[in-house]
Structure 1
Amino acid sequence: MTDEGILLKRVNPYQKKILVVDDYPPTREMIVEALEACGYEYVREAENGLQALNILREEPHHLVISDVMMPQMDGIDLLQHLKEMKNSPTVIMITAQSEIDLTVKAMKKGAVDYLKKPFKLDDLIYRVNLYLQGQEFSAGEENISDRAEELSIYSYIFDSVETIEGDNDRIFEQVADLALKVVEGEACYLFLYDREGDTFYPKLVRPEHEGKAIGESLPLIEKLLHKTLKGQEAVIAANEDNPLFAPAMICAPLTIRGNPFGVLSVRRKKTFGSFTKKDLHYVMSLTKRASLNIENRLLYESLYMNVYETFKSLVASVQLRDQYTEAHSHRVTEMAVKIAYEMGVSREELEVLKIAGALHDIGKIAIPDAILLKPGRLTTEEYEVIKTHSDLGEQILAPVSLFDEEKKIVRHHHERWDGRGYPDGLKGEEIPLLARILAVADTYDAITNNRPYQKARSHEVAMEEILRNAGTQFDPSVVDCLMAVH
């Protein structure tokens, strides 16, 4: 036995060599990330056929994924050269609809398959698994039924991770449950890595009663966790002297942009057998795909919040002119969220509503002070100017696709249930639900707080007025929920 009596067997998942050839960098990067997320560790890139040919002459590859139309040497010419090579790789072509004739020519020249742009990544991964493992069929390494089952499991992992939603804790829970299901493990642990302290702490345990055992054994397995992170590859460990490791444990790293942040560990097969190389591949594929999911989510959230803060600064400029707007936006959002929660909207919709509530008056930045801050009643002409703020708000948010749902609410929060609102005169359920909720919260706050042209009135007066206008100005179901929360 080695240190701590732990016998390590390092296995690099998917030793097959893949070359991705495309002159458009985002497409190459997308394919490479997907392949790596599924466990393929040796994936190279080339930007045209000539560069690909030079790479293949230096080092044989098992599979080439190539675009058709490229500068210097296109995919058709590349195929012709590959036919002349002694150990020519399997080739999958990627083509645009307009290049279908070229694709037929490519198939005649030796390509085994093709995908039309735009394509689904899971379709590509399915083909990659199929053809690479098909090479092993001919070598007699595995029988067809085993490979069919393996492909089915990889497809299940890929599809399951794609549908994972929620915050990081929820993602970790679903990944752990998925790992147990895929390899039939009895227990799963997710350790997060503290870079500053160079140590690990358990973030999640499945099932929960295993928590005590792993807490007591953590010092014994920290070396294993460190080796997993250092090599950034999955590890099978066994220790006959420690029941925690009997018969085996799989550890696989979780990374973001190549930087490790944790380790997923699965131990004990329910069948009392040892984990296999296939099990190792499955767990590694799962952690790579989950890491990519988390990374994309973090990047999205970072971009989302940066843009949101930019828009909030615009709202702040309105607040400097009109102090009512600041407190109003906060109160309206708080009230709207309470109503929405009572109505049972999803967590995602609640988050959209929070952003839309904070930004719903952003269009007032374009309203002149003489009208926005006028102490008396507005003239008809001035009121028409004020009414433009919902349309202006949508225009401000329009260039940013991240706020597609929020801008609908900003635009339509002054629509009426009877169709006599603005800016579009939408009626009934034509109005987005969250906009209907915001309209009620907005009106309640306007009645119960001082405005430049009107003193605050009581809660009872506000509720009475809103109830009286249910079915005309307001959605009756939203009004019912307002009454319930108040």
Structure 2
Amino acid sequence: MINLKALQSLARKFKVLYVEDDMAVQTALTEYLKNFFADVTTAKDGVEGLERYKNGQFDIVITDLSMPRMDGIEMLQKIREINPQQALLITTAHSGSDYMSQAIKIGVDGYIIKPFDYEQLNYELYKVSEKLEVMQENEAYKKSLQRMVEQKTAELSAMIQFQHDNYEKTLLAMVKLIEERDTYTAGHSQRVAKYSKMIAQKMGLSQKECEKVYQAGILHDIGKIVTPDVVLLKPKKLNDLEYKLIQEHPQVGYRLLANIPMYAELADIVRDHHERCDGSGYPRGIKASEIDRLAKVMMIADCFDAMTTNRIYKGRKTPKEALEEIERLSGVQYDADAVKATLEVLKDVVVDKNINQLPHTDIEKERFAYFYKDSLTDLYNQSYLDVMLLQNSYDRKYAQLHLLRLKHFSRFNKESGWKEGDTVLVKIAKSLKGCFDLSMVFRIFGDDFAILDNGECNMKEIEQKINAILSNTIIKSDILNLTLDTQKSISVDDLEKL
């Protein structure tokens, strides 16, 4: 069920064009839409709707399909010609009609069946509003990307002017830029550089080429300096739009390095290190014969390190498992000669099991907290709980998870006001934080809390303190104690079903 307050917060900045020939339906839905959207413009048929569209700017178009003068399909086709990216929703009483088939071909973002099921309506409105918000953020980022690249290029060029006689100092200065961005990326780059050189040496490449692939390994992710933290630190797998942002970093790195004479010879390696011999890679999707020779070495080193270190969204493989996967892809995604050398030189490599993407320094923790702290209670949010549950699935730091669930909270908010509800949540949060030092507390699902317990939690004492806070309210609480299975991981989605 969609949270109406969340929908209102998400949708209020968007403008809607609503086209419907049934005036009773139009009036009723328009009034409902005004609860969420800042501006709702109406039209009685496709002709009027198209004219309104041409004379205005709308984020979402909602239309009936069967209408006089010009039906919804014809109008949507003309709108698509004007703006191929326009967000479109349709309303219809006939989910299996030819109209629906044509609407799907046009590429509508969702459909709402008449008579309106408001739960489905809210879901479609939330879904399209969320998509628009992500698209707008990414568009803004795209517009600033070129400026950021130019700025970084200027910074790097200035640095070269001062340090062109000292390659090593300049190289370390560039590595420092990466470290300040993300210490995991820095450690990853150093390991990729080391593995790449080992593989190149085993292949019998010249000393110059071995040194070249090492230097490129240090800098291979330099393009990530323009990737937003919200993408780099996301606790789950990236969606399609975010993945496209990540896919830009080899090309960004190429542009940075190609314009600096002392790094120009590394640019092709950096650009091609995510390509694959079968053409399935990025950014250009080229095949083996077009991929830089040393990039074929680095791509294996890069993948080996990614597979053998803990990521926010995925646990590590053992070196043996990683090498088996690389061997399976020999001659397909990876160069066969490079794979053969990899299997020999990395079979005995020792990988630090503690390497992960979680924050280490105080600055990193603050930056991490910016994305994963709840602004009201200053507790961690449920996204960070997902991170920690996944992390716990392979480091087993926490043995229990306690869920503190509040009952009748929505009713309390309605009767006493949101401000009073927020006050209760803050009191509970402060009480929970004061109960222990090493365990972790999270606010989840709006009015519930979760505690990752490393063995120090006295749940009876906690229950007494919570009951004391709630004693003069209609709110009740219960605590669900879960043992974290050593064989099976659990996620926030699983908790919501309990």
Shorter-chain TM-score bucket reads: 0.3 to 0.5
Q: Give the TM-score normalised by the residue count of structure 2.
A: 0.36
Larger Rg over CA atoms: 1
Higher normalized contact order (CA 8 Å, seq sep 6+, divided by chain length): 1
